[in-house]
Structure 1
């Protein structure tokens, strides 16, 4: 007898480690996303559920995992942080470019003056 489709979905759900399922549920019910604090990447609960094997690592003994690196956070806070980082990076670039221009004395010069 062939296994019904609905049964496959139940089996897949049960394959999720408890820590992963807790993260996904916490994010889903709070309207938040999951952030990887090591890489700074953000995942919707649906993305994390589909690709959790790529991010979550359980030790060979099964006694430790890396779930503490994932935090459930409001994506609007992530938006605010990324904007701040972008402003800081732009300011750093402009300061560097200014120093570079001053060092090499880059300036626009006309070849000769216009006759009036």
Structure 2
């Protein structure tokens, strides 16, 4: 019984370390800036190294950016609860504007803010 209690306590402590404190989330993540010349998007990811987390967060931000400028199609199979989202967009000259890293033990969470100039948006006819 003591081993079970110890195991449960260790699991709760590990889960708590993996979570990011809400107060640590940068304001620009929840409220990306607006501009007449740029489009902004934010992304986040957690990984075993800062490099892995940063690459995943940047990809997440680019996906969010693509959703804003591209065409989004949703595909689903009849009778199944499987939905696929397909985003078609051309992203050019995407820049990382801001980055925040939060590390807890062997877990690293990265928040990234990316931008792209509106003049680089290529609209499909």
TM-score in same-fold range (> 0.5): no
Q: Whose Rg is larger?
A: 1
TM-score (norm 2): 0.23
Greater share of strand: 2
Greater share of helix: 1
**RCO comparison, higher one (Cα < 8 Å, 6+):** 2
